[in-house]
Each structure stands twice: as C-alpha cells, then as structure tokens.
Structure 1
Amino acid sequence: MAHVLVIGASQGIGFETVKAALAAGHQVRAFARSAEKIALSDPNLELRQGDALKENDIAAALTGIDVVVQALGVPARELLGPVRLFSEATGILVPAMEKAGIRRLVAVTGFGSGDSRQAISLLQRLPFRLVFGRAYDDKDAQEMRIRRSGLDWTLVRPGVLTGGRATGRYRVLDTPSSWRNGLIARADVADFITGQIEDRSRIGKAVVLIHHALPV
C-alpha cells in the first residue's frame, strides 16, 4: 500500500479521494488550509494543515510520500475574477516533487482543459467560456506545467460534477476522438483516482471521466 498525499483534501473530489484511498488500505495525508475541519477518523489518516501556494508547506507535506493527488478547486464566486491557483500551485508542487524524488502525480483538471477544449460542442462552448473561461485558462497552464515535467503524471478531466455515492459505472475516455462532456459523481472520480495510485497504465495520459454523455 502507498503513502498518498491529497492536496485539496477538505472538500469535493479531494475529500472523496481521501475516503476512497483509506477504504483501499492506503496511508493518506490530507492536506488543506482547513484540514482540521475534515470530519474523518482513521488510523491511516493524517491531517496536515497547509497552503498549496507556500513552498515550505508543500515541501514538508511531501516527506515520506509515494503518490501525490492534486485536487484543487476554487469557490464559484471567484470564477468571474482572475484565477491563478491551479498554475501557481502546480508551479510550486512540480519542482518540489522533482527535488524530493517523488514521481507519481495524479492531477485533477477538467473536461475542457488542454486539448479536450476542442471536444466541447458548439452549443456548450459559449456558456462554458462565460462561466469557466478564466479558470480553464489557468488549468491549461497547469496541465502544460505538468506535461513539461519529468514526473509520472496522469491528468484526470471529469465532466460536470454531481454528488452521491460511487457507482463504479463510469466511462474512462482516453482517446481524443472519444472525449465528450457528461455527468460524473465526485465519488466516482475519486474511485478512478484511487485506482491510479498503483495502476501505471495511464502514465503520461489525459482521460475524461463521465457516466453518460450530455446531449448536444
């Protein structure tokens, strides 16, 4: 079993990944600014308070780690202003991992980032840009920084996120011709991420995760 650092562990996909990784028997270090509010108790869980934009916090959190999951998010109210969290945090994390000799990185971005932007349908493209444009421009820079690294990375691009329990009935779209937008439960994204902790078959690849494609 691996020692996993989850960055952005207090909510959303990060929180679900903490739960899924613990259930799979891994040791988990849950890293977040509000880590003390994570309402989980497990002998294999360590809560680590820290800021993903502070080099010292990230360097300290990487000690003894085998695999890093980066699952950052920004509040909806911040989407209309400049977004730099994803690129700046990645600009700190990647060299810190390289310095520490930690190679495996699973990073959550989203459908519409990087080269998957071309797969957005014409009907979805304008509202997507209006609402998420600034955030996804920053995710583009995040992905580019990861791709330029020497790490064993996998980019996880979920579709439209929903709540609820993991179903295990999701689609992993790993070729550009198959990429589509769709709904996906955060818990199912976490299930996929947890599988990537030990699965090396998708190193250097980007995948889109959905349950079913949205109508276009």
Structure 2
Amino acid sequence: MALTLLAAGHEVTAFVRDPRKLPTQQPIPAIVGDAANAEDVAKAVAGHDAVVIALGDPRNPVLLALGAQRESCAHICEKGTANVIAAAKAAAVRRLICVTSYGVGDTRAVLPDMHKRIFRWLRLTEQLEDKERQEALVRQSDLDWTLVQPVGLTDGALTGRWLASATGERRKRTISRADLAAFIVDTLLLGGAHMRESVVVSGLPI
C-alpha cells in the first residue's frame, strides 16, 4: 500500500514497532514507536491528511492454543486506535481507514459456525473482542472513517479483483494482502468512497 502511494507521488509515513518488517525494495519513511504510547502515535499522525490503522496481535494462534505463548499484547487494537483517534483530532486529520476483521461488528452474526469453533479452539476470543472494541471506538468518533473487514489474508499476488461490500456480502474466503492494500489505496484516493461504512473485502474467482 505504501509503495503504491509513493509511486503515485504521495508522501507516506509508516509507523512501526520493528523497522526490519518494512519492505526492502524501496525505502519508506518510518517512525519507530509503540501504538500503545500516545506520544509516539501523536508524532506519527501530525502533518498527514489521512491515517490507516492496521493493528493486530502478533502472537502465533497455534502457540496460543497450546498455551506456549502468553506474553501480553492485550487490547493493542483498542489502545492503539484510541491513541490514533485522539492524535487525529488534535492534528485536525479527518480521514481514517481502520482494518479490522470479517466476523466482528456487522458481520459477527454471519460468521460460519466452523470458523467460530476454530476461533474458540485457537483461543482468539480475546483478540476478536479487542477488534470489537476497536470498531466501537471508530464508530463513536466524529472522523470521516471507513471500517475495512477483510476475510482470510494470504501472501498471494495482486489480481486487481475483489468484492467490496457494505452489506456484508462475501465471495472467496480469502484475499491477498496485495489486493487488500490496493483496495485501501483506491478508497483513500477516491476521497469520499465508503465514508462511514463497514466494508467486507473478499477475493473474486479468476
């Protein structure tokens, strides 16, 4: 996403905890910090026209299910998003795109039972509840927000084909990260697209 915006002549700043995870093919201006630290977030948000939140719990779900990885990352989506919203208001940044997950918020009721059982087995209840609180914060803000709910993410190639549905409709159970990033870029560049909507993004058969 950042590389696409840079290629189109836009200025982009990445906010990361670990700069080693940034793409290596093209340098991206980055601020290293912690999303749970309000001062770090405020420094990153100031001076920008829009913010994209893509927070998540980095812990391995299989290791979590086996009880082998319990270091605390609790509520990172809620805490980080609260800090971003506060920083955006202070810096007069209106546009906010927040990536959450299919199966929370508006799509909680349509999540297949099999997925619910898998999530329970992987002990992902805590992470999903964190996403729920994150969405609530975004909805309660007076920013020009869009909630993006992708289905299962893959490392597949960019296809340029996806379904973006504000009514919860879904096609494939997966979408590549490259296609999700392209959708977010399109939404940003179109300005008012999907304003104050929750949008499910899924792949389309080729």
User: Out of 32, 40, 43, which is 1:49 matched to?
Assistant: 32
Kindly provide the amino acid, as one letter, of the partner of residue 92 in structure 1.
N
The structure 1 segments of at least 4 consecutive aligned residues displaced by more than 4 Å after TM superposition are 78-82
CA distance in 2, matches of 1:94, 1:181: 32
User: Out of 180, 197, 205, which is 1:205 matched to?
Assistant: 197
Maintained 8 Å contact 2:53/2:98: yes
Which consecutive residues of structure 2, in runs of 5 or more, have no partner in the other structure?
A: none
Kindly provide the amino acid, as one letter, of the partner of residue 13 in structure 2.
R
Corresponding position of 1:67: 50
**Number of equivalences:** 194
CA distance in 1, matches of 2:53, 2:172: 21
Which structure dedicates a bigger proportion of its chain to strand? 1
The C-alpha deviation readout for 1:10-56, integer Å capped at 9, x for no partner, is xxxxxxx22222233321101101125522435xx412111111111
Identity of aligned residues (%): 36
Kindly provide the amino acid, as one letter, of the partner of residue 125 in structure 1.
K
The C-alpha deviation readout for 1:120-151, integer Å capped at 9, x for no partner, is 12232211333232111100000000000010
Q: CA deviation at 1:212?
A: 4.4
Corresponding position of 1:112: 103
Please provide the CA RMSD for this pair.
Answer: 2.0
Kindly provide the amino acid, as one letter, of the partner of residue 56 in structure 1.
E
Name the SS of the counterpart of 1:52 in structure 2: coil
Corresponding position of 1:58: 41
Q: Structure 2-normalised TM-score?
A: 0.86
Is structure 2 residue 151 aligned with structure 1 residue 166? no
Q: CA deviation at 1:116?
A: 0.7
Maintained 8 Å contact 2:157/2:176: yes
Corresponding position of 2:185: 194
Q: Structure 1-normalised TM-score?
A: 0.82
Name the SS of the counterpart of 1:126 in structure 2: helix
Maintained 8 Å contact 1:36/1:49: no
